[in-house]
């Protein structure tokens, strides 16, 4: 099946100009959704322009034929264990609130105060400016939509981190080796994270290779490590939800179902920090065992030697 979408000169110019200045696919899709575009059409249009750019094919005329309209996202039962609390191998975690459409949960006591403090102490000396993969080139660049400093812990790099990786895996209902490395982020006064998706949009070769290696991202756990004097909430604009940071609290959400569909309702942002600083720890889960680009390169090098 295909769908023909009317393309006004203003819309075409808006998409082209924003791509020229380096806006990500996620930013364009969010901007179109804010203007009341159907999420599936927004995804399809941005994908069509990215595809045309990649293959050197200009989009002409006043219509675009989308290769296949995106069907409505099919909601499925959460991967996270059910109940008002979740007992992992080493911790009892409280469930403050749940949503089923989309899947979102606010959790309490995911981390202890001592664990939060230890994570901050371990991460602080290793912070660098946060980067993202450029949607056009596939290369890492400083994130335009995230004014933060960050670092990654290697999977199970110490007994302490290994214990957290295991707890989080049990909480998220996915095998431990499906998880990406834990990322710590620090947001200073006035900093924020602009609206974005956590799933990988296959608009560049780096994302395509990552999805080929490990599958799509399926869920996120954002854990708060400190008290924030003002602001810093995690906001889900499509569903009207805002989660305030507090040490040990976390927000969990899913956005990829068993059909591989991606949920546009998972759009989220970090509100500006208006007082103090905000520390968070993030875990992303994949459909299959996570294989990093470095691991793949090392394997290729060994095979060729």
Supply the pLDDT for residue 145.
45
- pLDDT, one tens digit per residue, over 294-304 is 888 888 777 77
- pLDDT, one tens digit per residue, over 35-71 is 777 777 888 888 888 888 877 777 877 888 776 656 7
Q: What is the mean pLDDT of residues 187-205?
A: 87
How are the residues of the chain apportioned to helix, strand and coil, as percentages rounded to the nearest 5? 30, 30, 40
Structure tokens at 305: 């030697």
Report the distance separating Cα 287 and Cα 248, nearest Å: 26
Predicted confidence (pLDDT) at residue 272 exceeds the cutoff of 90:
yes
What predicted TM-score, i.e. pTM, was given to this entire model? Answer: 0.79
Supply the pLDDT for residue 255.
96
Q: What is the mean pLDDT of residues 211-216?
A: 95
Predicted confidence (pLDDT) at residue 224 exceeds the cutoff of 90:
yes
Report the distance separating Cα 255 and Cα 122, nearest Å: 30
Residue that wins the pLDDT comparison between 7 and 230: 230
Q: Which residues contact 241 (CB under 8 A, 6 or more apart)?
A: 99, 104, 235
Supply the pLDDT for residue 132.
56
Q: What is the mean pLDDT of residues 159-177?
A: 98
Supply the pLDDT for residue 106.
98
Supply the pLDDT for residue 135.
44
Supply the pLDDT for residue 160.
98
Look at the chain and count its residues. Answer: 305
CATH superfamily, domain 85-295, is q2cbj1_9rhob like domain (2.60.120.620)
Asked whether the bond before 102 is cis by omega within 30 degrees of 0, the reply is yes
Predicted confidence (pLDDT) at residue 229 exceeds the cutoff of 90:
yes
- Facing residues of 252 across strands? 105, 221
Q: What is the mean pLDDT of residues 261-268?
A: 92
**Mean per-residue pLDDT over the chain, rounded:** 89
By percentage, how much of the chain surpasses pLDDT 90?
Answer: 61
Give the domain ranges of the chain.
Answer: 3-66, 85-295
Residue that wins the pLDDT comparison between 91 and 42: 91
Q: What is the mean pLDDT of residues 85-89?
A: 98
């Amino acid at each position: 099946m295909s769908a023909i979408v009317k393309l006004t000169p203003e819309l075409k110019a808006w998409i082209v100009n924003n791509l020229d200045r380096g806006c990500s696919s996620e930013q364009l899709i969010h901007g179109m959704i804010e203007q009341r575009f159907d999420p599936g059409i927004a995804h399809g249009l941005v994908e069509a322009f990215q595809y045309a750019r990649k293959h050197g094919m200009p989009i002409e005329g006043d219509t675009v034929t989308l290769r296949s309209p995106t069907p409505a996202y099919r909601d499925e039962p959460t991967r996270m264990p059910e109940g008002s609390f979740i007992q992992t191998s080493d911790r009892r975690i409280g469930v403050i609130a749940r949503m089923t459409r989309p899947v979102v949960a606010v959790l309490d006591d995911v981390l202890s105060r001592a664990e939060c403090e230890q994570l901050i102490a371990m991460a602080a000396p290793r912070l660098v400016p946060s980067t993202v993969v450029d949607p056009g080139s596939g290369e890492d660049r400083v994130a335009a939509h995230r004014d933060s400093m960050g670092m990654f812990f290697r999977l199970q790099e110490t007994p302490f981190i290994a214990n957290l990786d295991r707890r989080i895996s049990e909480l998220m209902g996915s095998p431990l080796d499906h998880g990406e490395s834990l990322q710590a982020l620090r947001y200073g006064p006035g900093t924020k994270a602009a609206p974005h998706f956590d799933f990988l949009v296959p608009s560049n070769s780096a994302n395509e290779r990552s999805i080929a290696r490990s599958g799509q991202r399926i869920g996120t756990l954002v854990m708060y490590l400190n008290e924030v004097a003002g602001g810093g909430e995690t906001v889900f604009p499509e569903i009207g939800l805002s989660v305030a940071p507090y040490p040990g609290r976390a927000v969990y959400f899913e956005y990829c179902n068993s059909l591989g569909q991606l949920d546009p309702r998972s759009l989220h942002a970090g509100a500006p920090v208006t007082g103090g600083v905000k520390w968070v720890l993030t875990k992303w889960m994949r459909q299959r065992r996570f294989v990093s680009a470095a691991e793949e390169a090392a394997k290729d090098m060994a095979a060729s030697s």
